């Protein structure tokens, strides 16, 4: 049990708290599901890129899936071995490609022929052979929120199967490209297995046809996307997930790579905020807290549901909106939620905030971003100090 009161006393609010035991258990659960098979779990750093979170996972053996050279540098700084780092993303700058090649990471994941041209040119200049994989868009509906759905042709990600085939042949014939991997990722917060299995099966067929023309794919990257429980969603069992993927791979000798983000850290994170006061506008009840949409954007951006809990309060619940102090109507954590009466100073815990929480925070309204704390058993430590006003204006003051 996390002592939210004690931690809020010590570190103040708003505050992010991560349960490192939960995170380790999630990693182990997935690793176990893949046991006995060639596999590599590359934690999707974008979900929560705190150095201590990455190094906690790296210590367990996790690799890293990165979408910018900044994330690659974070992974390296956190102790992820370079041979377990992959670099994906729809658009990469030349400097990012160059640095990734110099660092000699496991794979550059390419999303277009134009990008492949750039990588080839840069690798040639550096006299290197770039290990690449190509992101294939299998045109599968992942049945998730449209903002986090990525595997349909209408989405900007990857290339279609025919283009992939053509550019794999080009890559094979280039002395500066080594096409060793294939990749897909159909969306995030997936709660159904079928779309993943279908996508894997389409991509596995492509790998077989590449094999027939002597293009030997060794890394089969199934992306991330395994969903978590925010409310009462059904979720995908890791063992079923692994089984479904391997069932599509008959005749192929590949290492399965997966890139879970949310699965690993989502339910291990809590956003803790304090009640400032309540007010009622023409019968509508508002609970105003000191955290805002700048700290945790998911409810505002996706209308995402997060469970909220008022610590230590029980009693007659009535509907309320839980809102922050930011000057936007979209600044809310919960709408029309049944909540007990609160007093100023009460703590509100927003659950499932470990993924896409702090990383999407901003300084909007000149609000310093929260501190982050890791809890492991009965020990706790600060893993990012709260920003100060001086931190916020430092780079501007340099220009005065
Ligand atoms: N691999 C690729 C290529 C991705 O684009 C993503 C997420 C992942 C892996 C990790 O997905 P996960 O396992 O976490 O579902 N901000 C949104 C989620 C955006 C996901 C972007 N890509 C949210 O708060 O729901």
11 shares its domain with 64? no
273 shares its domain with 372? yes
d(CA 123, CA 98): 8
364 shares its domain with 339? yes
DSSP for residue 136: B
Residue 394 within a domain: no
Buried b / exposed e over 131-168, threshold 16 CB at 10 Å, is: bbbbbbbbbbebebeeebbbbbeebebbbebeebbebb
Probe target for ligand 1 pocket from 41, 188, 231, 297, with the most ligand atoms within 8 Å of CB: 188
pLDDT digits (tens, 9 = 90+) for 356-373: 999 999 999 999 999 999
251 shares its domain with 274? no
289 shares its domain with 180? no
Residue 27 within a domain: no
CATH of residue 144 = 3.20.20.10
Residue 398 within a domain: no
In 3D, which of 275, 260, 254, 262 has the Cα closest to residue 304? Answer: 262
The three-point CA angle 133-32-211 to 5° equals 30
Give me the domain span that covers residue 157. 34-260
pLDDT digits (tens, 9 = 90+) for 187-205: 999 999 999 999 999 999 9
In 3D, which of 48, 111, 102 has the Cα closest to residue 75? Answer: 48
Check whether 60 has a pLDDT greater than 80. yes
DSSP per-residue letters across 153-171: TTSSSSB-HHHHHHHHHHH
Give how many domains the chain has, as a whole number: 2
189 shares its domain with 154? yes
In 3D, which of 41, 40, 38, 49 has the Cα closest to residue 16? Answer: 49
180 shares its domain with 42? yes
CATH of residue 385 = 2.40.37.10
User: H or E segment at 29?
Assistant: helix 20-33
pLDDT digits (tens, 9 = 90+) for 276-296: 999 999 999 999 999 999 999
Amino acid 315: pLDDT: 85
213 shares its domain with 76? yes
Question: Does the beta carbon of 298 lie inside 6 Å of ligand 1?
Answer: yes
Find out whether 130 and 178 touch, Cβ atoms under 8 Å. yes
Find the 38 Cα to ligand 1 centroid distance in Å: 23
Find the 150 Cα to ligand 1 centroid distance in Å: 9
Check whether 151 has a pLDDT greater than 60. no
pTM of the model: 0.96
């Amino acid at each position: 049990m996390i002592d939210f009161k004690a931690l809020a006393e010590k570190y103040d609010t708003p505050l992010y708290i991560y349960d490192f035991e939960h995170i380790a258990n999630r990693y182990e659960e997935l690793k176990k599901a893949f046991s006995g098979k060639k596999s590599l779990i590359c934690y999707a750093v974008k979900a929560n890129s705190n150095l201590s979170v990455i190094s906690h996972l790296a210590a367990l053996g996790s690799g890293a899936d990165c979408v910018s050279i900044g994330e690659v540098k974070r992974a390296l700084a956190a102790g992820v071995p370079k041979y377990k780092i992959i670099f994906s993303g729809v658009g990469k700058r030349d400097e990012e490609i160059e640095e990734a090649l110099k660092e000699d990471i496991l794979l550059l994941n390419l999303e277009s022929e134009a990008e492949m041209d750039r990588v080839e040119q840069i690798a040639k200049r550096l006299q290197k052979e770039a290990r690449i994989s190509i992101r294939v868009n299998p045109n599968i509906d992942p049945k998730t929120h449209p903002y986090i759905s990525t595997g349909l042709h209408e989405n900007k990600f990857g290339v279609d199967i025919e283009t992939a085939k053509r550019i794999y042949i080009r890559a094979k014939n280039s002395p500066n490209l080594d096409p060793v991997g294939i990749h897909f990722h159909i969306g995030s917060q997936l709660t159904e297995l079928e779309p993943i299995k279908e996508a894997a099966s389409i991509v596995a067929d492509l790998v077989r046809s590449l094999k027939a023309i002597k293009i030997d794919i060794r890394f089969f990257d199934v992306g991330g996307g395994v969903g978590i429980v925010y409310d009462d969603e059904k979720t995908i069992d890791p063992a079923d997930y692994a089984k479904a993927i391997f069932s599509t791979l008959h005749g192929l000798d590949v290492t399965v790579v997966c890139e879970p983000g949310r699965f690993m850290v989502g339910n291990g994170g809590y956003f803790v905020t304090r009640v400032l006061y309540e007010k009622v506008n023409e019968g509508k009840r508002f609970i105003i807290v000191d955290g805002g949409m700048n700290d945790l954007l998911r409810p505002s951006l996706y209308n995402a549901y997060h469970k909220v809990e008022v610590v230590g309060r029980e009693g007659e619940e009535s509907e309320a909106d839980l809102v922050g102090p930011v000057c936007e109507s979209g600044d809310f954590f919960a709408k029309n939620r049944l909540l007990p009466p609160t007093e100023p100073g009460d703590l509100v815990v927003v659950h499932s905030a470990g993924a896409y929480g702090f990383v999407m925070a901003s300084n909007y309204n000149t609000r310093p971003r929260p501190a982050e704390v890791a809890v492991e058993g009965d020990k706790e430590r600060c893993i990012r100090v709260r920003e100060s006003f001086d931190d916020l204006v430092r780079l501007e003051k340099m220009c005065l």
